[in-house]
Structure 1
Amino acid sequence: MKWLFDLKPKRSIKDWKRRDKIFFVAIVLLITFNICIGSGLIHSPFYVNITSSAPMGVYMISNDQELKPNVFVMVKENHRLEQFYGSKRPPQLLLKHIAGMPGDIMTVTDSDVRINTESYPTLSYTSNGMPLQHLPNGIYTLSSDEYFVANIPIRSYDSRYFGPVKRDEIQSVVTPVWLFGEGVVEFVNQWENAKNS
């Protein structure tokens, strides 16, 4: 009698182990590539994000380098970030979106930072229990070369804590190529809004 379904596995355990090894090597190579790009050892038109502060995936440096609301940019780390990341680590690039432009009004309270009408909640501690200090309470206007950069996740370390970034701290505008993980839908919606504005 001929069975309608073949219940035998199509691949052996050895095949699965080989596939897992290839996947592991590919991930290690991507991480190494990302570190080399972030530290400036090599230059590439691509950036691989492996942090949870923005959707994980591959981004490409855009031909259009115009800074406008909701575009996504690579921001250079600076001395203000050392208190959070530590000075022992080599400088990295941070993936953020532009939430505030020169001339925008920034209102800082104990619970959030508002850029025009958009609210970005603040935290007192990181997920590791490290204290976080947001900007001093008050109303500020972004100067002609200042940009407020942020991300959707509340745990993103961004301008809520280290303040606006200067134009020369923004390395490039990027566009997503391949994304995965949490926050992809919100991220793509922001990116589409930026393209249409």
Structure 2
Amino acid sequence: MTRKKKAFILFLIIFSFVYIIKTIAKDYTITITESLPLGIYKLTEAKDIKVGDIVQFTPSKEEMELIYYRGYLPRYAKTLLKEVAADYSNRNEIEIRQDVFFKLLYVSGKNYGPILKKDSNGREIEKINLDELKPKNNSEYLLLSPHMKSYDSRYFGLIRKDQILKKAELKIKF
């Protein structure tokens, strides 16, 4: 077998391997922050979104630039995963309670943790008021994480249905 033929066969094997991995991997994502349990999540069609679902979404361009600028995520991360804490059906169950030290965000009795004034590097975080956290129609969602330092809807606001790409389900926990 000639050298060119061997190189071509090697190229075909590598190309086939990469193609197979990319085809399989498009339906999975890996969390790299502690906002949700670290692991591999299977992605499925984002239909019939309800409270409690975990969704993959794209924040606004401005929010992604802030996320990159502050180093919350590396630039190769193009989407986020968060839990749907509220939709229009439970919008009136969103409340802020004053603790001894913090304002705590509750949704349907579940404590999602404090609304912080500063991030972990001491930089100011712009927060949103209670009315801005309440979905105003069936195509808006409050996406949160119970992790204390999660950058989520309490800071960037509601997410529209058209920003949600997929539903996610944890398959392998690290």
C-alpha deviation, 1:93, in angstroms = 0.8
% identical aligned pairs:
25
Name the residue aligned to 2:12: none
Instruction: Select which of 33, 38, 41 maps to 1:51.
Output: 33
1:10-45 deviation digits (Å, cap 9, x = unpaired): xxxxxxxxxxxxxxxxxxxxxxxxxxx9xxxx9701
Equivalent position amino acid for 1:171 in 2: L
Name the residue aligned to 1:94: 80
Distance 1:128 1:140 in 2: 25
Instruction: Select which of 101, 113, 117 maps to 2:109.
Output: 117
1:83 aligns with 2:66: yes
Q: Identify which of structures 1 and 2 has the higher relative contact order when contacts are C-alpha pairs closer than 8 Å and 6+ apart.
A: 2
Distance 2:111 2:131 in 1: 14
Distance 1:166 1:64 in 2: 12
Distance 1:164 1:64 in 2: 17
Higher alpha-carbon deviation: 72-81 or 132-141 = 132-141
Structure 2 alignment gaps of length 5 or more: 1-21
Distance 1:154 1:65 in 2: 29
Cα gap change, 1:137 to 1:150, in 2 (>3 Å): closer
Name the residue aligned to 1:13: none
8 Å CA contact 1:76, 1:91 repeated in 2: no
Note the aligned Cα RMSD (angstroms): 3.0
Cα gap change, 1:46 to 1:166, in 2 (>3 Å): same
The TM-score, its normalising length taken from structure 2, stands at 0.68
Equivalent position amino acid for 2:117 in 1: S
1:62-100 deviation digits (Å, cap 9, x = unpaired): 357320111111011213413343399466110101000
Structure 1 residue ranges (4+ consecutive) displaced by more than 4 angstroms after TM superposition: 137-140
1:1-197 matched pairs, under 5 angstroms:
44-62=26-44, 65-81=47-63, 82-86=65-69, 89=75, 92-103=78-89, 104-105=91-92, 106-108=94-96, 111-120=103-112, 121-138=114-131, 141-144=134-137, 145-180=139-174
8 Å CA contact 1:49, 1:56 repeated in 2: yes
8 Å CA contact 1:107, 1:138 repeated in 2: no
Distance 2:37 2:142 in 1: 19
Structure 1 alignment gaps of length 5 or more: 1-36, 181-197
Cα gap change, 1:137 to 1:152, in 2 (>3 Å): closer
The TM-score, its normalising length taken from structure 1, stands at 0.61
Higher alpha-carbon deviation: 133-142 or 151-160 = 133-142
Equivalent position amino acid for 2:122 in 1: G
